[in-house]
Structure 1
């Protein structure tokens, strides 16, 4: 007999759990970051879909490159000199034709496009731009344009995750989280570096750290990485000999290497800006010009073509002569800056690692001629990679985590921290260099530093989480019986309807006072003694930051929150006041 009540209780709890995950309840729960189980599910789904897309992208690129380059997908050096010139040139011409045929709004690709959509369009990314990035990114990598696969990967991951949120009609604050999940999964699955993916997403894309925001991003990075590992395995990207800092005599050289790398990072960013500012207007001309520069430099220095990780592995072994290291470093930097400045749809993290590796290898050879107490060449190569990535991206923690996971060498942590910090400080304060992604955004007219702590905090919650549902819609003119009926449900607010729209908001107490004080049969809610509030419309998916902007710019005193029905008609579902936003911000 005792089992029956227990069984009933269990059934009720299961029914409640099922109800909580129905789509309407699921959306409502995501209106604030407190919905940990729901955000965890989103993180896993984002990682799964991102991993599958990145897997498809990598398989396509590497299979075609293996057919073109039988010795390996990075071995552009095996091509004849004429082939090294013709391949990037032909690829650039195909890309130029594609971009010339596209509308302006469909040409946006890469991390800068993701940041632009995140900061200006609440993270809504389109299917068309996703397809453009997939196709053009693959063509750029296959044709040997100097760059990395992580730029296209971040766009693909962010787009897939954003489209997931749009398909489920989730509130805008959760789409922002999904963008972070997609970026983390993309970096994790591209490099086998899930921790670096998480830190990169928070440090570069989302631009904030929150405990609640970490959980779905971590799950996405892990899931995406595991998906790609099923095909490409979990081997580290670089083959590192067992190296570490041999003595404290390395410390002055590490300090100097950080300064040298900072000069290169600042130079890369400055040259990119110059190329962008002086570039011709037609997109096709810019792409062809970028391809010709890459082809010309690759004709002389084939190591700059493609991603270049095979060259990094050679530098780690100390098998590249000094002059060749310096030549690769300089030409790779120039080619990368021109490609980025002219809009080639390719990534920049890979090139920063290659440039840093070549600079580190060259620095070791110069230092070893002065002192015989410097550590192995691979030690300085690794430090150069991390310092260049950290200084160019202004993301020191992401660079450190990437270095640890790429090399799987914990011995490198202490000296890497020193070198990366020195490079970051010197680039930012010595040369005034901003993050290369921030600089790209500024070239598009977007100031990523314009978002203050208030804006970031209010972006974490949607209006649904703080709106009042204690309201009723009423016509402007009511007879006494209708007015009494309006008050029967004991609302706090009355949303006054006038024609096809809504005119103002007043307290139900004002109507109740008018019924008691005025001896008349009809009441005009626009004229009775009341504290009426000017109102504006906002959708339930909007964030509190969007609501704050509407109130500030429109000079209104309240917002009515609507859901758009299947017939495209607005259905008011709540009321939001400025004090509701203020209370959330100070809570």
Structure 2
């Protein structure tokens, strides 16, 4: 099964790449005559085609690829809709091919995961193995896109929080091999970046790579914060048409001034690695000044700043794509900028611009995605630059350390963490995220009312209940408090008190309340821990729903942990 899903994911990746490059080459060859004016039109046209497909064919809101897969793993037992097999194959090439500043890796992983999920269901694979096969599909997709099988395995382990045991290692290995062989068969063995390390790492350059790691960390935090700010800004537009128009024109304006923002940006990276920054920048309104190195540095730094804006605007306007490759583009520009600043600072410093370009990519991947090992091995594999292992490790570790301590969660995981649906390497948190509140709510508690007498409570509720706690509600079903059986026990057999004492005499406030639809399972467990209670009431839309008992919660936790563990 792992070989099969690796092959299918590789095939999906090849299809995505070929379709996108066909659209781009068709536009460049004259289907549309590209000029500075057309840049304003192409993104709007591409986003319009995506909008029409989503509205009339897909008929569901587009989701972020990796985040939606993580949600499916934590809350849907690895079940992914079959519609998500085709949709990325259509929407991503239209977005990227027409100038959307996003990548193809996310859609490739999404298609591979959907294929894996549906094949697993067809073969009646259980939910635990289905989740592993989805991770295998992601490894196959990445291995096919980058022809980097080791980095593909590490990505699956870091991002999907798998335990690196033989039970997971072997399927991942087979899927990764299957994906990369599929790519070799259809595309040959050419690498994305035609680069060989010519300048070896020098010990005296260590401080400069530390400086680069700090710079990529700051850029990573900027990238992440800018992403969510732009997404929030576009939420103000209620109509998708307004989002499309504003976003499309915004991208067009950015493309006019900074042409390298067009599409994925692999050509830009290759030009920087070749040392041809003028080719990397393309034709801009500032061509008359590009003979001055500080103007070039300014333009490259502009790409670092605006790549995040262009990418997020593409998403917010309704486009489809991934953030992985834009992260690499942004990192390559920043690395090249740092090297050029050092070389032209007048301090007699000389560093390799190509090497800094590569290491900058690793720094951004480590900081933005919180995946330092993926960053190190990916850059080393796709360039054959294992000679740069030490600087890659230095900058990636520095970037990850600062970014992780500044932002707890990456773009992939922030929204999932907010709703308690995040799978992580913390088994406790992961198991809790996979639990559902509905599975532990008990509703066989007899409710009483404040105006009830003790006798009415005993006859109507206590005598008919096996519980020792009773919710007190009003006529609208709102919880007013609780009554414990221990509180009324001394009066239970004194019939003279039955009509003299009302329920509100015994009522007390609940030690904590659980809010249905708002509280995560982590929050529920925290409330039990801090309150010391054995039963807590659940409130749904302001009304009493039932109770959660600590014993049932811990039993459900233990069962989920057993099923989750390899």
Shared fold (TM-score greater than 0.5)?
yes
Q: Which residue of 1 aligns with 2:19?
A: 60
- Alpha-carbon offset, residue 127 of structure 1: 1.3
Worse-superposed segment, 202-211 or 182-191: 202-211
Q: Which residue of 2 aligns with 1:195?
A: 150
Q: Any idea what SS the aligned residue of 1:55 has?
A: helix
Q: Which residue of 2 aligns with 1:145?
A: 100
1:274–1:455: structure 2 CA closer, same or farther, 3 Å change rule? closer
Q: Which residue of 2 aligns with 1:305?
A: 262
- Alpha-carbon offset, residue 343 of structure 1: 5.0
1:244–1:416: structure 2 CA closer, same or farther, 3 Å change rule? farther
Q: Which residue of 2 aligns with 1:33?
A: none
- Alpha-carbon offset, residue 581 of structure 1: 7.0
The CA deviation string for residues 259-307 of structure 1, in whole angstroms up to 9 with x for no partner, is 1111111111101111122222434433443322211100221110001
Asked if residue 435 in structure 1 is aligned to residue 410 in structure 2, the reply is yes
Worse-superposed segment, 163-172 or 206-215: 206-215
- Alpha-carbon offset, residue 120 of structure 1: 1.3
Asked if residue 453 in structure 1 is aligned to residue 427 in structure 2, the reply is yes
The CA deviation string for residues 475-526 of structure 1, in whole angstroms up to 9 with x for no partner, is xxxxxxxxxxxxxxxxxxxxxxxxxxxxxxxxxxxxxxxxxxxxxxxxxxxx
1:341–1:207: structure 2 CA closer, same or farther, 3 Å change rule? farther
- Alpha-carbon offset, residue 69 of structure 1: 2.2
Q: Any idea what SS the aligned residue of 1:289 has?
A: helix
Worse-superposed segment, 362-371 or 214-223: 362-371
The size of the alignment, in residue pairs, is 434
Asked if residue 314 in structure 1 is aligned to residue 284 in structure 2, the reply is no
Q: Which residue of 2 aligns with 1:48?
A: 7
- Alpha-carbon offset, residue 447 of structure 1: 4.1
Q: Which residue of 1 aligns with 2:380?
A: 404
Q: 2:324 aligns with which of 345, 349, 360?
A: 349
Q: 2:86 aligns with which of 123, 127, 131?
A: 131
Asked if residue 162 in structure 1 is aligned to residue 162 in structure 2, the reply is no
Counterpart contact for 1:96–1:285, Cα < 8 Å? no
1:266–1:102: structure 2 CA closer, same or farther, 3 Å change rule? farther
- Alpha-carbon offset, residue 126 of structure 1: 1.0
1:287–1:450: structure 2 CA closer, same or farther, 3 Å change rule? farther
1:583–1:87: structure 2 CA closer, same or farther, 3 Å change rule? closer
Rounded to whole Å, the distance in 2 between the matches of 1:302 and 1:163 is: 40
Worse-superposed segment, 308-317 or 60-69: 60-69
- Alpha-carbon offset, residue 405 of structure 1: 0.9
- Alpha-carbon offset, residue 368 of structure 1: 1.1
Counterpart contact for 2:107–2:320, Cα < 8 Å? yes
Coordinate RMSD, CA, aligned: 3.2
Q: Any idea what SS the aligned residue of 1:422 has?
A: helix
Unaligned runs of 5+ in 1: 1-41, 461-551, 559-575
> TM-score, with normalisation over the residues of structure 2?
0.70
- Alpha-carbon offset, residue 110 of structure 1: 1.5
Counterpart contact for 2:19–2:93, Cα < 8 Å? yes
Counterpart contact for 1:438–1:448, Cα < 8 Å? yes
Q: Any idea what SS the aligned residue of 1:278 has?
A: helix
Counterpart contact for 2:261–2:303, Cα < 8 Å? yes
Q: Any idea what SS the aligned residue of 2:325 has?
A: helix
Counterpart contact for 2:147–2:191, Cα < 8 Å? yes
Rounded to whole Å, the distance in 1 between the matches of 2:340 and 2:226 is: 27
- Alpha-carbon offset, residue 244 of structure 1: 3.8
Q: Which residue of 2 aligns with 1:7?
A: none
Q: 2:300 aligns with which of 298, 313, 325?
A: 325
Q: Which residue of 2 aligns with 1:36?
A: none
